[in-house]
Homo-oligomer: A and B are copies of this chain.
């Protein structure tokens, strides 16, 4: 239960059944076809904004009542279930453990870099910072003409709004945890 249209699916179905409304009834209240209402509820369709708007208005509920995902108090993320992202021919692997969400201003990744693995990254948004702790191997970070080598157990924090690079400068697999902070707008 992660993808946005699945959240809407769940919310809509709950609200509709709570109100004891048929698909037909929701259709005529909202002006959206019965078929589409059904597909949205089953998660078979990613509705457009105007469709969501029509439904919210028809049911006299707020837009966010449909897109809100009531977060549980606890979330367990299994490594095997994370969609891994690869760079440098698979030598640099990113596991997004806690992706960016709503007003949370950070995201947490686990990164694995094979021996000789390397990644050159562009600068992120103005004010963005990275917080890295190395658990195995050693990492060398180049940023702003300087370079820093972080060994297992050590950590680094740096402003990531300029181009920077990560290199495994050990002879083994390097594993690290990376938290990226994005400052709010304005």
Which residues of A does B touch, CB under 8 Å?
A: 3-5, 8, 15, 18-19, 46-53, 57, 60-65, 67, 99-100, 102-103, 105, 125-126, 182, 185
Q: How many copies does the complex hold?
A: 2
A83 CB to closest chain B CB, in angstroms? 13
Question: Which of B61, B103, B105, B185 lies in contact with A15, CB distance below 8 A?
Answer: B185
Residue contact A4 to B67, C-beta cutoff 8 Å: no
Given contacts A15-B185, A50-B5, contact A103 B62 (CB under 8 A): yes
Given contacts A4-B49, A47-B48, contact A64 B61 (CB under 8 A): no
Question: Which of B18, B46, B103, B125 lies in contact with A50, CB distance below 8 A?
Answer: B46
Given contacts A57-B99, A62-B102, contact A49 B5 (CB under 8 A): yes
Extra A-B contacts (20), CB below 8 Å, given A49-B49, A57-B100? A3-B50, A4-B49, A4-B52, A4-B53, A4-B63, A5-B48, A5-B49, A18-B185, A19-B125, A46-B49, A47-B48, A47-B49, A48-B49, A49-B52, A49-B67, A60-B105, A61-B185, A63-B67, A64-B102, A65-B185
